[in-house]
Chains A and B, each alone.
Chain A
Amino acid sequence: MTTLAAMFLLLVYCTPEKPKFEGNESKNTSSKSPVEEVVDPSKGIGPVKHVTLSSPLDQERVKRGKDIYEMKCEACHRLDDQRIVGPGWKDITKRRKPEWIMNMITNVDVMLDQDPEAQKLLELCLTRMPNQNVSIGDARDILEFMRQNDGEK
C-alpha cells in the first residue's frame, strides 16, 4: 500500500513535466539560427565559479592540455572552425567564458540538461557531448591549450 501510495504521488508529481527535448524545441523555434547565438557571457552551471587567467601562458599546462585533447577530445573537436561531431575549437576562448568552458567539460550532463547555450549546441550537433571523465585540473590544462590555439602567447 505504501508503495502504491508513493507511486501515485510520484505520478501526480511527474505528470505535468514535459519531456525535456520538446521544451527545447519550442524555444528553438522562436530563435533565429542557433549558430549565431553561441555567444553568451554566462559562466555555465557547475563547480567552476571563477578562473584566473595569466599571461604569458603556462607552457606545462599547454602541453598537458594538448595530450588530453588528443586522447579524449580530438575525435570530435578539430582545432579549426570545422564541426565534426562537436564544434571546432577555433576562437572558443573568445566566444565563451573560461568558467563556461570548464563547466561544459567537467559537468556536461547538467550543462546539457540546464544551460541554454549548451542546449543550443545539442540541437545543432544532435549528439550529446560525452562525459570524458576529465578532472577540473585537467580541464584547466585543456583551457590553456585552447588559449594557445586561439593565438595567445
Chain B
Amino acid sequence: MKKQIFHFVLTAVGALFIAGCKPQGPAGVTTGGAASKVYVAPGQYDEFYNFVSGGFNGQMAVYGLPSGRLFRNIPVFSVHPENGYGYSEETKPMLNTSHGFVPWDDLHHPALSTTNGEHDGRWAFGNANNTPRVARIDLSTFRTVEIIELPNSGGNHSSPFITENTEYVVAGTRFSVPVGDNRDVPISSYKENFKGTISFIKVDPQTGRMSIAFQLRTPGFNYDLSRAGKGPSHGWFFFSCYNTEQAYTLLEVNASRNDKDFIMAVNWKKAEEYLAAGKGKTEKARYAHNIYDEKTHMATSTILEDVTVLDVTELSGIVYFLPCPKSPHGCDVDPTGEYIVGSGKLAAVMPVFSFSKMQQAIANKDFEGDFQGIPIIKYESALHGEVQKPGLGPLHTEFDANGNAYTSFFVSSEIVKWNVKTLQVLDRVPTYYSIGHLCVPGGPTKKPHGKYVIAYNKITKDRYLPTGPELCQSAQLYSIEGDKMQLLLDFPTIGEPHYAEAIPASMLKDKSVKIYPIEENQHPYAAKGEKMARVERKGNDVHVYMTAIRSHLTPDNIEGIRVGDNVYFHVTNLEQDWDVPHGFAVKGATNAEILIMPGETQTLLWKPLKPGIYPFYCTDFCSALHQEMQGYVRVSPAGSNVPLKWSLGDEQVVQ
C-alpha cells in the first residue's frame, strides 16, 4: 500500500513536470522532478566531491554530487596497473610493510581532515583493514602520499577517525591478538593473552606527516568503529566494542550472548598527561612508514622498531565503559559534541548518550562495576534517551545542521530521520537494498553542509542491468532539504563502498595541482631537457634517461641491451601544461605501464628475456601524432658486444 502511494506521488510529480517542461526526454518522465535536481549540464561542475571507500578494491573513488559521476579512482592500498602505482620503482615502497610488499588491502573508511571540527580540505585518510595501515591522501594532488603500518593490530577497522583539529588519527584493532613477545599461544588462551590496541597517530599540523604517538593496550574485545568528541567533548574519543564475551570461535553465536556490550570512552588528554609523565612503556615492534616525496617523485619506506604503550588497565582515568545494547557497530557524535549515538546491530532501541551526564556520572563514581579494573558507568546515568522502534539493524548515523540524525538500517533496508534532542522519528525512506554506511556532506563535522544523504548499499540485485553473477555495487542520493527525504538518483560504484565523506567542491577545486614544475624536479634520474636524455650502463643495470613530449620519446632507438640486463626506463615528461600526461609501455614487461604527469619522472623496470627488437610507445593519447610516439630497443644475447648506442632522428650517441 505504501509503495502504491509512493508511485502515485511520483506519477503526479512526473505529470506536473511534463506539463511544465516539455523539451525534456524520457528520463525526466520516469523519475519526475528528481532528474533536474541531479542534472549537471555538460561543462558544468558538481557541487560536492564525494570520497568513497573502495572496500575490497583497496582504493578510494571520487564522485561528483549530485550527478554521481565518477572522476577518479585513487590508488591507495592496492596496485593500480592503470597508472603504475605499486609497479613503478618510485611507488613500490608505498606498499612495503613488515610483511614485505603487500599489493592489496581492504579500505573501509575515508576521513577528511578538519580544523576546529570543520572540513579544511587538506587531506583524506583511509584505513587498511587487513594488513593494518593508515594512508594519507593529499587533496591538492589526489594522490596517496603517506602510509603508516600499525603494529600490535589484528585488523584496522575502527579507523581512521580524527580529532577536531586533526591532532590524531586513531586506529583501533577489530581483532584482538596476542601482542609483545608472547605470540605463539593457543587460540583458546584468548582471555589471557589476546589484547586490544588503539593507536593514536599524531599528524603534523603543517606537513601532515604521521607518527604513532602512543598505543593504548585495552581488553581483548573487537573494536568496531569510533568518533572523536568535539566542542564540549573535545579531548575524548568513543569506540564501539563487541564480543565483550571474548569469544574466539563461532562469534555469530558466541559474541551475541551479552545483552549489552560497550562503548569505550577514551580521555585522550588524560593519556597525553600519562605520556608526558613518562608512564608509557617503550616496546619493540616492527612497522613500515612510507612517504612519497613530491619533489623527488619517489617514495621511501622506513622500518620503525619501537612503539610507546599505555596500559589502560593499569593507568586509571583514561578509559570508561558505557554499556550499549547488543553488539554496537556505529558510534557517532552529533555536531554539538554533546550526544553520542550507539547503534546496536541486534538491538530494538538506539541509545543516545549525553556527554555531560557521562561526565557527571564519572564525577559521582556512578558505576555498575568494572571490567578488568575499568569502570563501567551505569547505563541510565549517562543516557540521554533511547530512540524507540527506529527500525531493524541500525548501523551508522550522520547529522544535518538542524539537529536531525539520519541512521542507516541494514535489516529493514531504510534510512530513518530522527531528532537528536526529542528522539522522535520524523521520516523514513527505503534503500535498494540493505544499506551499510551513509553520508551527509559534512555529516561527521561540527558544521554539516547538509542538502543530501547518500546511501551506500550492500546489495543491488535487480536495480541495474545484470552482468552475470557479480553485480555492481551502488549508492543512492536522497534530498534532505524538505521535511521528507526524496530519492533522486541511483549510481553504481566501483569496489564495495563502505563509508564516504562529501565536501563542497569550492573547498578543493581551485587548489588542485595542475603540473609539477620541471625546475623543481629533484628525481635523481630526471632528464630535464632532451640534452640530458641518455643511456648509462652500470654492470647489468642499464639506466635509460628518457624524455617525453608531444610527440616523441628521446631516445627512441636504443641498441646494446643484452639478455640478463635490468633496464630502468626513467621517463621524464617535459610538458608543463595541464592534462598532458604521457604513458610508457614496452613489449614483454611483466609489471605494468607507467603514466607520467607533466614535469614528473617515473621509472619502469624491464628485464628482457630473449634477443630481438622490442617496440615501446606512449600509452596515453597525447596529440594528433600520438600514434607516432614510439621507439625500438634492440636486445642482443648475453655477452654480446653490440655497442651501447641511442638516438633520436639523426642525433646519435655511441658509447
Answer yes or no: A47 CB below 8 A from chain B CBs. Answer: no
Residues in A neighbouring B547, C-beta threshold 8 A: 75
Would you give the shortest CB distance from A1 to chain B, in whole angstroms?
6
Choose the segment among A28-36, A91-99, A123-131, A141-149 that binds chain B (4+ C-beta atoms closer than 8 Å): A123-131
Number of B residues near A (Cβ < 8 Å) is 31
Answer yes or no: B488 CB below 8 A from chain A CBs. Answer: no
Residues in B neighbouring A76, C-beta threshold 8 A: 549-550
Number of A residues near B (Cβ < 8 Å) is 23
Residues in A neighbouring B549, C-beta threshold 8 A: 75-76, 85, 130
A134 to B517, CA, bound (A): 10
Answer yes or no: B5 CB below 8 A from chain A CBs. Answer: no
Residues in B neighbouring A3, C-beta threshold 8 A: 36, 39, 41
From known contacts A71-B518, A71-B574, A74-B529, infer whether A85 and B580 are also in contact, taking CB-CB under 8 Å. Answer: no
Q: Give residues of chain B (512-552) contacting chain A, Cβ–Cβ below 8 Å.
A: 515, 517-519, 528-531, 547, 549-552
CB atoms of A132 and B551 under 8 A apart: no
A10 to B41, CA, bound (A): 10
CB atoms of A1 and B39 under 8 A apart: no
Choose the segment among B19-27, B129-137, B180-188, B343-351 that binds chain A (4+ C-beta atoms closer than 8 Å): B19-27
Answer yes or no: B363 CB below 8 A from chain A CBs. Answer: no
Residues in B neighbouring A1, C-beta threshold 8 A: 20-21, 36
Residues in A neighbouring B21, C-beta threshold 8 A: 1, 4
CB atoms of A72 and B530 under 8 A apart: no
A-B contact count (CB 8 A): 72
Would you give the shortest CB distance from A67 to chain B, in whole angstroms?
9
A133 to B577, CA, bound (A): 7
Answer yes or no: A53 CB below 8 A from chain B CBs. Answer: no
A133: contacting residue among B531, B550, B576, B624, CB under 8 A: B576
CB atoms of A72 and B574 under 8 A apart: yes
With both beta carbons as reference points, the residue of chain A lying nearest to B575 in the complex is identified as: A130
Interface string of B546-582 (1 = CB under 8 A from A): 0101111010000000000000000000111110100
A25 to B529, CA, bound (A): 34
Answer yes or no: B625 CB below 8 A from chain A CBs. Answer: yes
A8 to B36, CA, bound (A): 14
Residues in A neighbouring B116, C-beta threshold 8 A: none
Residues in B neighbouring A75, C-beta threshold 8 A: 529-530, 547, 549, 552, 554, 574
Residues in B neighbouring A60, C-beta threshold 8 A: none
Answer yes or no: B623 CB below 8 A from chain A CBs. Answer: yes
A134 to B649, CA, bound (A): 27
CB atoms of A127 and B529 under 8 A apart: no
A12 to B211, CA, bound (A): 57
Q: Give residues of chain A (54-106) contacting chain B, Cβ–Cβ below 8 Å.
A: 70-72, 74-76, 84-85
Q: A residues within 8 Å of B by Cβ?
A: 1, 3-4, 6-8, 10, 70-72, 74-76, 84-85, 126-128, 130-134
20 other A-B residue contacts (CB within 8 Å) besides A3-B39, A8-B23: A3-B36, A3-B41, A4-B23, A4-B24, A7-B41, A70-B530, A71-B528, A72-B518, A74-B529, A76-B549, A84-B649, A85-B552, A85-B625, A127-B551, A127-B624, A127-B625, A130-B549, A130-B575, A130-B576, A132-B575
